[in-house]
Amino acid sequence: MKEKNGTIINFFLLGFPNIGGFGVIFFIFVLIAFTSALFFDGLLIISVSTKKFLDAPMYFFLKNFLCSEIILVTLVVPNMLRVIWLNGATISIAGCIAQSYLYCASGSTESYLLAAMAYDRYLAICKPLLYNQIMNQNLQYFLVIFCWMFGFMSTLITMSFEALLSFCGPNVIDHYFCDLAPFVDLACSDTSSFQIEILILSFPIMVIPFVLILVSYGCVVVAILQMSSITRRKKAFSTCSSHLFIVSMYFGSLIIIYLVPSNSQTLNKMISVLYTVVTPLFNPFIYSIRNQEIRAIMWATVTFKLIHNKN
């Protein structure tokens, strides 16, 4: 433990002490998942960006969502690999606060973008005749700018509170990155006001977007059930099912980690792995599995790059 004037200046990230001899296997799994997630997220962004007939609002929101996901993954996973490889690693208080802020900010941005995507699906299915008029380019840019700005600005309050905390006791964080709860638990100063502030912030960051998504998809389900054509029902459901799955994974993980009381930090860490490693890996496949156009474009992009490199 490194101290200065009785105050801790470094933390030790404990990581996964219970995986024993499976550390190398787990390291390889996380490394493959990380590189694959970056590759397929990037491939999907490039594929959607290069085709003009895929300039619909849903793909515009999808590109921004994948960008926020890349930020979150590159922020957490490289440090996670270092922690696994070294069986724990140190991080400074400043580094811990910065990582915690960027993690919360990118996660908040994802939350708002998912709500914007749900609103887009609501307009497309429930208000098809007014869709192009309402979801014009100005509204698209406004929603995306709002998601990014409010996502990063809302968590500035959290970072300012974190910077005021003092640490003088144990310096071991039972996690693989500076997640908010285990980090704050080590503070020597009174954290009651900070915990109230976190609870208040959870409403605009998690609760309100989640409610908006539920309301949007509630209206979508009603509209789909009222469609007379089975073909139209299947097509409408197909466009929404992938987004619903991602929403379930995203908010399900966050609710279990942050809102459901749990005495098992090991369980929270494994669910965090699901959120930061597994979900980003499968998101590109989930969004493309029901969309033949995206699958074809992704394959064409890969083959073009391979042929171009050979030449």
Q: What is the mean pLDDT of residues 275-287?
A: 84
Query: Are the C-beta atoms of residues 277 and 84 closer than 8 Å to each other?
Result: no
d(CA 113, CA 66) in angstroms, rounded, equals 10
pLDDT at 79: 92
Q: What is each CA distance from 141 to 52, 137, 146, 155, in whole angstroms? A: 17, 6, 8, 22
Of the ranges 31-40, 41-50, 63-72, 85-94, which one carries the lowest mean pLDDT score?
Answer: 41-50
* Span 143-174, pLDDT tens digits: 999 999 999 998 888 888 888 888 877 888 88
Mean pLDDT on 79-88: 92
Residue 303 reports pLDDT greater than 80: no
Mean pLDDT of 122-142: 92
Rounded to an integer, what distance in angstroms lies between the CA atom of residue 93 and that of residue 178?
Answer: 10
CB of 16 within 8 A of CB of 26?
yes
Model pLDDT, residue 6: 42
The helix-helix angle for 279-289 and 57-86 (nearest 10°) equals: 150
Q: How confident is the model at residue 235 (pLDDT cuts 50, 70, 90)?
A: confident
| 3-class state of residue 3 by DSSP | strand
Selected residue with higher pLDDT from 241 and 292: 241
The whole-number pLDDT of residue 53 equals 61
Pseudo-torsion of CA 259, 261, 266, 269, nearest 10°? 10
Higher-confidence residue of 274 and 3: namely 274
Average predicted confidence (pLDDT) for the chain: 83
Among 13-27, 73-87, 223-237, 290-304, the minimum mean pLDDT is found in 290-304
Which pLDDT score, from 0 to 100, does residue 290 have? Answer: 57
Q: What is residue 283's predicted lDDT score, i.e. its pLDDT? A: 83
Q: What percent of the chain has pLDDT above 70? A: 87
Q: How far apart (Å, rounded) are the C-alpha atoms in residues 140 and 201?
A: 25
The CATH superfamily of 3-310 is Rhodopsin 7-helix transmembrane proteins (1.20.1070.10)
Please tell me which of 8-22, 69-83, 225-239 the model is most confident about, judged by mean pLDDT.
69-83
Examine the pLDDT at 111 and tell me if it is beyond 90: yes
Query: Domain boundaries in the chain?
Result: 3-310
Does residue 197 register a pLDDT over 70?
A: yes
Higher pLDDT, 160 or 177: 177
Q: Is the per-residue pLDDT at 12 higher than 90?
A: yes
Place 298 in a pLDDT band, splitting at 50, 70 and 90: low
Nearest Cα to 2, choosing from 187, 172, 180?
A: 172
